[in-house]
A = this chain, B = another copy of it.
Amino acid sequence: MLHKILEPYNIILASASPRRAELLKLLGLEYTVRVSNVDEPENDDEPAQQAIRHAMNKAVAISLNSGERDMVIAADTIVVLDGRILGKPEHEDMAAHYLKQLSGREHIVITAICVSVNNRLVCDHEQSRVRFAELSDTEITEYVASKEPMDKAGAYGIQGLGSQFISEIEGCYFNVMGFPIHKFYRLVNALRQEGLL
C-alpha cells in the first residue's frame, strides 16, 4: 500500500490545489506543498498532451531543487467538451456560459500526473466521463453565486455543491477531483518493480 511503500520518501506536492492535498491525506501520506510559477500557455496539442506537458513542467520546476529522498508529485486537470478545453472561468458570465454548455451532456475530464524521484520522471494520465443533469437557469445562477465554480476547470467542483448535478461518472472519481489515485498507485508500483524506489 502507498503509505508503506512511500514511508522513506519526503513527498512534495507541486500543486496549490487543496483538493489534491486532501487526497494525499486520504492515502495516509505526509507531504509538503511547493508551488512553482510555471506559465501554462495553451497550444494546438491534443488535450491529454497539453495536460501531460503542464504536469511535467510543474514537476520539473520543483524537482530541480529536490534532494535524494524527495518525491515530487505534480498533476494537471482539464475539462474537455467536444474536443475543446474548458479552463478556469475568468468571470461569472464565463462560468455561467460553461455550465450551460455542460448541462444535460457528457464531457471528459483528464488529469495528467507526473512523479519525479531519483532523477527519474514518470508521467501518465487518466480520463473519465462525467454526465451532467439538465440545469435550469435558476440553478446555474445560484451555483455561480456560490462562487464555487470560479477557481475550477470547467466551472464546477464535483466534491462540492456541484456534486448534486452529476448524474453519472465512468472511470476514476478521484481523477475528476484532480488526482487519479489508482493511477498514482500504479505508477508507484511500476517504479518499485523497476527497482527505482
Interface residues in chain A, defined as those with a beta carbon under 8 Å from any beta carbon in chain B: 1-4, 23, 26-28, 133, 139, 142-143, 146, 158-161, 163-174, 181-182, 184-186
Q: Taking CB as reference atom, which chain B residue is nearest A166?
A: B182
Which residues of chain B are within 8 angstroms of A4 by Cβ–Cβ distance?
142
- Given known contacts A1-B142, A161-B3, A182-B133, is B169 in contact with A169 (CB within 8 Å)? yes
Number of copies: 2
* B26 and A160 within 8 A (CB): yes
Check if B182 sits within 8 Å of A172, measured CB to CB: no
Known: A139-B1, A142-B4. A181 touches B163 (CB 8 A): yes
Interface hub of A4, A28, A159, A168 (most chain B Cβ within 10 A): A168
Please indicate the chain B residues that have their CB under 8 angstroms from the CB of A161 in the complex: 1-3, 26-28
> Whose C-beta in chain B lies nearest to the C-beta of A135?
B1
Contact partner of A168 (CB less than 8 A), chosen from B23, B26, B165, B172, is B172
A-B CB proximity, top 8 nearest? A173-B173, A164-B185, A163-B181, A1-B142, A170-B170, A167-B182, A164-B181, A2-B164
B1 touches A164 (CB 8 A): yes
Task: Name which residue of chain B comes closest to A174, CB basis.
Answer: B163
Complex contact B165–A182 (CB within 8 A): yes
A172 adjacent to B166 (CB under 8 Å): yes
Question: In the docked arrangement, what's the CA distance between A166 and B167, Å?
Answer: 20
Residues of B within 8 A of A181 (CB): 163-164, 166
Q: How far is the CA of A168 from the CA of B160 in the complex (A)?
A: 21
Q: What's the Cα separation between A24 and B164 when bound, in Å?
A: 11
Q: Which residues of B contact A133 (CB under 8 A)?
A: 182, 185-186
> 5 A-B pairs, CB-CB below 8 angstroms?
A1-B161, A158-B173, A163-B182, A166-B172, A166-B182
- Other than the known A1-B143, A3-B161, A27-B163, what 12 A-B pairs have Cβ atoms closer than 8 Å? A1-B142, A1-B164, A2-B164, A23-B163, A26-B161, A28-B161, A164-B182, A165-B185, A168-B182, A169-B169, A169-B170, A169-B172
